Every structure is written in C-alpha cells, then in structure tokens.
Amino acid sequence: MRLLFLVLLVLVVLIQYPLWLGKGGWFKVWDLQRQVAAQHDINEGLRARNAALEAEVRDLATGVGAIEERARSELGMMREGEVFVHILPPGSPVPPQAQPAPSSGKPAAPRR
C-alpha cells in the first residue's frame, strides 16, 4: 500500500512539474501576462505622443499659430512693437545696459 502511494505521489509530481515549471507552465504564463501589460502601458504612452505630434504637424500645415509659437520659443523672435523683458535669477551677474534706440528719425551718432 505504501509503495502504491509513493508511486502515485511520484506520478502526480511528474505530471504537475510541466504544469507549474515547464515551457508553457503557470509561471511562464504569468510572466508573459506581466510583459504584455507593461507593453500595453508603453503603447498607450506612445499613442498619446503620436497624437500630440500629429496635432502639431496638422497645426503647422494649416495654421500660423504653431509657427509663431515655435519662432518665439526656439528662435527668440518677437513681433514688432513688443518689449522683451528678461528676468534674471537671483545672484546672477547683471549684464551691461543696452543703449536705447533713438526715438527720432535721425540715425544715432557713433560712440567714440
């Protein structure tokens, strides 16, 4: 009777091994499900990024607002009549004062 019990126990262990630890076992399935969930999260982030880039391309192709925004932020351009104000962080050296543009129509005399 004991021998039969041991034989059956060994058979059960041999049958259960591939189910839990084999190539298509539960641990492998669990790991693959975790990887799929992580890839879904990555894909959602990429979809959002693609949608934002697509909207920007569409705006660049049809509108002037995005071009103006990019010219202002990346190239430092500004419209005629606007005043540029640069606020320096505390503790940074103050640059020399720029000469104001003359208000009359005459050209300014060169500095000597």
- The percent of residues above 90 in pLDDT, for the chain, comes to 24
Higher pLDDT among residues 98 and 75, named by residue: 75
Closest C-alpha to 72, from 62, 84, 87, 58: 84
Q: Which two tokens stand for residue 57?
A: 């391309």
How far, in Å, CA of 55 to CA of 59, rounded?
6
28-61 pLDDT tens trace: 889 999 999 999 999 999 999 999 999 988 887 8
Query: What is the predicted pLDDT for the residue at 101?
Result: 56
What is the value of pTM for the model shown? 0.45
